[in-house]
Structure formats: C-alpha cells, structure tokens
Amino acid sequence: MGERNKIAIIGGSGIETLDFSKEFRRHMVSTEYGDVPVAEGRVGGKEIVFLMRHGKEYVIPSLINFRANMTALKKLGVGRIITTAAVGAINKKYRPGDLALLTDFLDFTRGQRETFTRHSFIDMSEPYDPQLNQLILNTAKKLKLKLHPAAVYACAEGPRFETKAEIKMYGQLGADLVGMTQVPEVVLAVEAKIPYAAIAVVTNYAAGVSPKKIDPEHVIFVMKEKSRIISDLIFQVITA
C-alpha cells in the first residue's frame, strides 16, 4: 500500500458530496468484506478520498458494512479520516444547527462487528485523534465558525430513534449527543491505526429533551442546509 498520505472524508446522512468533491473520479474498491464505492481527487495538492457512509442507496445504520468501508480506506493508503455525523442533542448546551467535535463515546449497539480480528485488544482511551481535532478547531476559529470543542457521543443501534427513557439514561451517564454510526466506525479506525475525527451536526433535540417528535426528513434537511459550511470547513482543514 505504500505510505498513507491520503485524507479520507466520510460523509454521513445528507452529505452525499462536498463542493470540492463533485468532479472526483468515482470507482469501486474491492475488499474481503465487499466492494465499496469511493470518489478520489486532488485538493490543494493533496490526494482526497470521499466515501458515503450509507452508500448510494442509503443503507440503514445497523446494516452499514463498516469493515468494508474502513478496509477500503486503508487499502487506498489513507492516513487521516475526517467524518460528519448527524446527531441529536441530549445536553441542552448543544442546539439544533450547532457543530461539535466528538471526543469520546458510549456504546449501546448490540449486533455490530467492532473488530477485524478476534485476537487483539484495542485501547480506546482516545478514540478521536487529539491533533486532528485541534486542527479542525483552529480552522473553525479562523473562519469565525462556532464549533463546540468536545462532546461525548452515545451510539444507539438504530434505525429507530431512542425512547425518552433511553435518552434520560444516556444523559445521566454523561452523553451530550446521540447518533447511530460512530460505533464501530471509530473503533475500526483506531484498530487500523488511522487518525480519525468526527464533526457532529446537531439536527434536533433527542426524545424527551424537546416536546417535538423527531422528523427523519428534518434531520436530512438540516444536514443539507449545513453542507456548504461543512464543505468550507473541511476544505480549509485539508489545505492547511
């Protein structure tokens, strides 16, 4: 595979492409876990790989082939990963429309394959790369963009949204935000030894935090609404 010089961007719900990746070359990467569609191009002299987390047909979170996705990125020589994640707010200091960097997680998934092998233990004391997080935070400050510097993410199984009781429990355990895709993705990135950062986009308040019911279409709407800001932030990060 050679040196890992490429930067990967994993687009979550509502982020099918970024402004600077529209002309990237699309192709398939074959892995032992399945084929993965990606798009590759150059930005600011750097090689960039764009991958849609949910795929072209939008696979639900619990059916995403995370091992294939991560294996494809490793096979392509990716050395850093920046991702987006749609999240619900448990902690009210995070409001719909806010951006936040993830720094830790709580795992409430049940059927996910978290490892490439059954024969190794993986340290999770810093699942999100501090240096990459700092680079993103510094870039956001230069752009005068509000970005919460740290948030704990509770990962639910999905695809259903969480109950009020579950959200209350997650909050009592220290979670700020909730979503369905960070585990096992970040775990596999750590195992693959690829620095990983996640920019969370708060699309709604979680169940019980607000009296409003969660509208899946609104989640996608907010992500698309924020896509230009996210695209600009990531562009500035990768060209820094």
Calculate mean pLDDT across residues 178-204: 96
- pLDDT at position 118 over 90: no
- Segment holding 108, helix H or strand E: strand 99-108
Tens digits of per-residue pLDDT, 30-57? 999 999 999 999 999 999 999 999 988 8
Tens digits of per-residue pLDDT, 11-29? 988 888 888 998 999 999 9
- Annotated domain spans of the chain: 6-238
Rounded CA-CA distance 141/20 in Å is 21
Where does the pLDDT of residue 1 fall: very low under 50, low under 70, confident under 90, or very high at 90 and above? very low
Assigned token pair, 29: 């990467």
Residues 157, 108 contacting (CB under 8 angstroms): yes
Query: Backbone phi, then psi, for 165, in 5-degree steps?
Result: -65, -40
- pLDDT at position 216 over 90: no
Rounded CA-CA distance 33/115 in Å is 12
In order, the DSSP letters of 141-170 are: HHTT---EEEEEEEEE--SSPPPHHHHHHH
Q: What is the DSSP letter of 207?
A: B
For residue 169, give Cα distances in angstroms to 136, 176, 179, 214.
Answer: 30, 11, 15, 18
pTM above 0.85, yes or no: yes
Share of the chain above pLDDT 70, in %: 98
Question: What Rg, from alpha-carbon coordinates, does the chain have?
Answer: 17
Assigned token pair, 59: 């696979």
Residues 37, 26 contacting (CB under 8 angstroms): yes
Determine how many CB atoms are found less than 10 A away from the CB of residue 174.
12
- pLDDT at position 2 over 60: no
Beta strands at 46-52 and 177-179: parallel, antiparallel or unpaired: unpaired
Per CATH, the architecture of 6-238 is what? 3-Layer(aba) Sandwich (3.40)
Residues 154, 177 contacting (CB under 8 angstroms): yes
